[in-house]
Amino acid sequence: MGVKIFDTTLRDGEQSPGVSLNVEEKLRIAQQLARLKVDVIEAGFPIASEGDFAAVQKIAQEVKGPVIAALARTSFPDIDRAWQAIQEAEKPRIHTFIATSPIHMEFKLQKSPEEVLQSAVKAVERAKTYTDDVEFSAEDASRSEREFLCEIFTAVIEAGATTINIPDTVGYATPGEFGELVKYIYDNVSNIDQAEVSVHCHNDLGLAVANSIAALENGATQVECAVNGIGERAGNAALEEIALALNTRQDYYDDRTNLELQEIYRTSKLVSQLTGMDIQFNKAVVGKNAFAHESGIHQDGVIKERTTYEIMDARTIGLEENQIVLGKHSGRHAFRDKLKELGYELDDEELNKAFKRFKELADRKGEITGLDLEAIVEDQFGQSLQVMDLKLLQITTGNGLSTATIHMEKQGEKILKSVCSEGGPIDATYEAINQAADLDCQLVIFKIDAITGGKDALGHVTVKVEHQDDVYIGRGVSTDIIKASAVAYNNALNKILVASG
């Protein structure tokens, strides 16, 4: 069977500061996680908001393969709401939790250990009336009294829990200590053989992956983690690091995951793009420098024999630039086939839009790469919500002044705005879009990346825009950086307009 991977990118990962995904974006990530073949997708916390409920429900309805889990506190309304969201899933799971550490019980819950145990048992029993697959988490387990942990785990397994989770909620544990805790629970919970043992480690001290691996070495059978390690505070254990550690060191570990490893890089990139969270260059496995060599000694060694300085093959995670032999004379059929090779299934309308973008790009570029095609499709998905449509952008700049003239359509209404600014062409463009949308927004983050190399490279612009204390992410792609910047900003403002009704 292998180690079960419980992915919490859409729940704990989305709790990262500044991250806000809409329903369609969450669905896209969930579909990619299914292609990655994670065992469990924790789709969200349904009672938290109507948007979270809608996303969990949509994922439950449309994503097949993995177990779809919904998080719930031990209150009955939470559990009922979780079931309402996931009841149409192929394989539904209710994941309920309550804090078990003295500090949490005294100050946060203001409950006695006896009251906490009773709440946990009743919650599992309630969840069990809906589904056979019930997970129970003892929040802040690593700072809990061990005897009480064993008591509560024994009780919830007896009540019907099929998975018990041992979280290092605040990233406090060290590997030796955490591994020993897992062993202690195996040795002191009499009915532990009736449940999967899971761990959920946070990275506050940079030990989340090490703690997760230590838990596996001591018998844990499920690891809860997130793509790129995103999550609350310093984040969660990174899915890709756990998977590649087990795969690369098969000489040491008996455990393997069931993941489709070649989907790792694509998944990492998608999550980064949709959340707006950059991957640090020196990030293990998926960072830009993970397979790069600058030192002459290293370069010489890798040229002679790759394994002298690379313990992993980049192709294992799908990291290779697929040189797609497509040009301006290529037809729709060949274009569709190439997109299928890259993992994209488009309907006829989506294909026509993407094909038009491809033809426009092919007229400018002599060589179309797989990265170019991915950028076209990803950008198209990102522009799916169009209350305001940017029809025309004209820029004049010189002598310290820039003027942006835009033509937009908003629900059939044509809007023409012209703004002069000392801040440059992008500043003028953004102010013109603000005026056209009649929104007061604040640009928080502006970032440009080149998707491929060369003067005709596609530029990918990501912006974060604040409106009424909420942050919205926008993305745009073009060989023209100013146009990409305008599209990204307009994308963010469209999300604001949709959210505002």
pLDDT level of residue 382 (50, 70, 90 thresholds): low
pLDDT tops 60 at residue 296: no
pLDDT tops 80 at residue 324: no
373 in the same domain as 258: no
Helices (H), 255-331: 264-275, 296-304
pLDDT at 199 (0 to 100)? 98
Q: Which helix (H) or strand (E) holds 247?
A: helix 239-248
pLDDT level of residue 235 (50, 70, 90 thresholds): very high
Listed in order, strand segments (DSSP E) in 25-65 are 40-44
267 in the same domain as 241: yes
pLDDT tops 60 at residue 321: no
Sheet (strand 388-398) strand order? 388-398, 401-410, 413-421
pLDDT tops 70 at residue 340: yes
Q: Residue 440's CB: how many other CB atoms inside 10 A?
A: 8
Q: Which of 175, 223, 171 is nearest to 197 (CA)?
A: 223
Alpha-carbon span 86 to 99, nearest angstrom: 24
Q: Is 449 helix (H, G, I), strand (E, B) or coil?
A: strand
Q: Residue 492's CB: how many other CB atoms inside 10 A?
A: 26
93 CB-contact burial (10 Å; exposed 0-12 / middle 13-18 / buried 19+): buried
In a domain, 143, yes or no: yes
Q: Which residue has the higher pLDDT, 256 or 4?
A: 4
In a domain, 402, yes or no: yes
pLDDT level of residue 477 (50, 70, 90 thresholds): confident
492 in the same domain as 357: no
Alpha-carbon span 69 to 40, nearest angstrom: 7
405 in the same domain as 266: no
Structure tokens at 317: 């995670």
The pLDDT tens digits of the residues spanning 79-100 come to 999 999 999 999 999 999 999 9
The percentage of residues in the chain with a pLDDT greater than 90, rounded to a whole number, is: 60
Residues 165-184 have a mean pLDDT of 98
In a domain, 407, yes or no: yes
Structure tokens at 275: 């959340």
Q: Which of 309, 232, 197, 280 is nearest to 45 (CA)?
A: 232
pLDDT at 307 (0 to 100)? 76
pLDDT at 64 (0 to 100)? 97
Alpha-carbon span 472 to 54, nearest angstrom: 18
Residues 355-360 have a mean pLDDT of 83
Residue 405's DSSP bridge partners are 394, 418
Residue 462's DSSP bridge partners are 447, 475
Q: Which residue has the higher pLDDT, 383 or 376?
A: 376
pLDDT at 245 (0 to 100)? 97
pLDDT at 305 (0 to 100)? 78
186 in the same domain as 135: yes
pLDDT at 32 (0 to 100)? 95
Q: Is 258 helix (H, G, I), strand (E, B) or coil?
A: coil
For residue 250, the one-letter residue type is: Q
pLDDT at 383 (0 to 100)? 63
pLDDT at 253 (0 to 100)? 93
pLDDT at 238 (0 to 100)? 98
Question: Rounded to 5 degrees, what are φ and ψ at 7?
Answer: -95, 125
Residues 29-56 have a mean pLDDT of 97
Q: Is 422 helix (H, G, I), strand (E, B) or coil?
A: coil
Alpha-carbon span 419 to 406, nearest angstrom: 9
Angle between the 264-275 and 370-382 helix axes, to the nearest 10 degrees? Answer: 40
What per-residue string of b and e applies to 210-248 under the rule 16 or more CB within 10 Å gives b?
bbbbbbbbbebbbbbbbbbbbbbeebbbbbbbbbbbbbe
Least confident of 168-177, 218-227, 303-312: 303-312
The pLDDT tens digits of the residues spanning 385-411 come to 678 888 999 999 888 899 999 998 887
pLDDT level of residue 246 (50, 70, 90 thresholds): very high
Q: Which of 82, 83, 68 is nearest to 33 (CA)?
A: 68
Q: Residue 477's CB: how many other CB atoms inside 10 A?
A: 26
377 in the same domain as 239: no
For the chain, the domain total comes to: 3
Residue found under tokens 């990530």: 29
237 in the same domain as 189: yes
Alpha-carbon span 136 to 73, nearest angstrom: 10
CATH number of residue 422's parent domain: 3.30.160.270
In sequence order, the 6+-apart residues with CB closer than 8 A to the CB of 144 are: 100, 101, 102, 138
110 in the same domain as 229: yes
Alpha-carbon span 289 to 308, nearest angstrom: 17
pLDDT at 295 (0 to 100)? 54
pLDDT tops 80 at residue 323: no
Alpha-carbon span 54 to 118, nearest angstrom: 31
In a domain, 311, yes or no: no
Q: Which residue has the higher pLDDT, 476 or 155?
A: 155
pLDDT level of residue 335 (50, 70, 90 thresholds): confident
Q: Which of 224, 222, 219 is nearest to 186 (CA)?
A: 219
pLDDT tops 90 at residue 327: no
Query: Is the separation of the CB atoms in 68 and 61 below 8 Å?
Result: no
Least confident of 415-424, 445-454, 491-500: 445-454
Q: Of 258, 275, 292, at which residue does a domain stop? A: 275
pLDDT level of residue 359 (50, 70, 90 thresholds): confident
In a domain, 362, yes or no: yes
pLDDT tops 70 at residue 485: yes
pLDDT tops 80 at residue 244: yes
349 in the same domain as 416: no
In eight-state DSSP terms, residue 257 is B
pLDDT at 351 (0 to 100)? 85
Residues 126-139 have a mean pLDDT of 98
204 in the same domain as 88: yes
The pLDDT tens digits of the residues spanning 428-448 come to 999 999 998 888 899 999 988
Q: Of 275, 302, 321, at which residue does a domain stop? A: 275
In a domain, 293, yes or no: no
pLDDT at 346 (0 to 100)? 81
262 in the same domain as 117: yes
Q: Is 431 helix (H, G, I), strand (E, B) or coil?
A: helix
pLDDT at 16 (0 to 100)? 87
182 in the same domain as 107: yes
Alpha-carbon span 39 to 165, nearest angstrom: 15
pLDDT tops 70 at residue 14: yes
pLDDT at 389 (0 to 100)? 87
pLDDT tops 60 at residue 204: yes
Q: Which helix (H) or strand (E) holds 465?
A: strand 459-467
pLDDT level of residue 234 (50, 70, 90 thresholds): very high
Q: Is 379 helix (H, G, I), strand (E, B) or coil?
A: helix
pLDDT tops 60 at residue 492: yes
pLDDT tops 60 at residue 302: no
pLDDT tops 80 at residue 365: no
pLDDT tops 90 at residue 1: no
Quote the domain boundaries for residue 79.
4-275
CATH number of residue 150's parent domain: 3.20.20.70
Helices (H), 276-369: 296-304, 332-341, 348-364
Sheet (strand 459-467) strand order? 442-450, 459-467, 470-478
Q: Of 348, 382, 416, at which residue does a domain stop? A: 382
Q: Is 220 helix (H, G, I), strand (E, B) or coil?
A: coil
**Mean pLDDT score across all residues of the chain:** 90
Alpha-carbon span 144 to 172, nearest angstrom: 11
Alpha-carbon span 205 to 52, nearest angstrom: 30
The distance of Cα 146 from the centroid of its chain, to the nearest Å, equals 33
Query: Is the separation of the CB atoms in 115 and 155 below 8 Å?
Result: no
Residues 328-352 have a mean pLDDT of 79
pLDDT level of residue 293 (50, 70, 90 thresholds): low
